Amino acid sequence: MAPDTEDVLGSFEARVEAQTRLSLQLSAELEAAEVTLRSPNGEVTVRVDSAGGLSDLRFHPEAEAVSREELARIVLATSRQAQAKLADRVGELVSSIYGSDSSTAAFVTDAYTSRYPHAEDEPEVR
């Protein structure tokens, strides 16, 4: 017996609505995602937004004890660490919405982790 056309269309519409809800939820949560991180010795605190961009930078009294060149290195290193933590957070968000075995979760997670790798995954710059 062939499936009823109305049943097939109704089922399709329900799947589309469910995917739309998931996509809107993910979009809202990604937009709100940010990471704040303080450098290991406390010189700076950085915040990165959902796109990995620096959205806040604070200098603490510990910054006075290092040279400007070292401070610049600390800011950049702390920013990269915050971006890597953002990639982790995004992976958790997308997995919680779509499931950890989802191809959508894998795609989004891979996109963030390849763009913002952990320091041990980064190629050495010379």
Q: Report pLDDT for 2.
A: 59
Give the residue among 68, 84, 78, 89 at the shortest CA–CA distance from 46: 78
Q: For 18-40, what is the mean pLDDT? A: 90
Question: Which residues have a Cβ under 8 Å from the Cβ of 41 and sit 6 or more positions away?
Answer: 62, 74
Residue 58 phi, psi (nearest 5): -125, 135
The two three-digit tokens of residue 81, written as one number = 């660490």
Place of tokens 């763009």: 115
Q: What is the mean pLDDT of residues 6-21?
A: 85
What are φ and ψ of residue 125, in 5° steps? -100, 135
Helix (H) or strand (E) holding 36: strand 35-38
At 9, the pLDDT band (50, 70, 90 cuts) reads: confident
How would you label 96-105 residue by residue, b for 16+ Cβ within 10 Å and e otherwise?
A: ebbeeeeebb
Yes or no: domain 5-121 corresponds to CATH 3.40.50.1860: no
3-state secondary structure of 118: coil
> Average pLDDT for residues 103-109, to the nearest whole number?
90
Q: Report the pLDDT averaged over residues 5-29.
A: 85
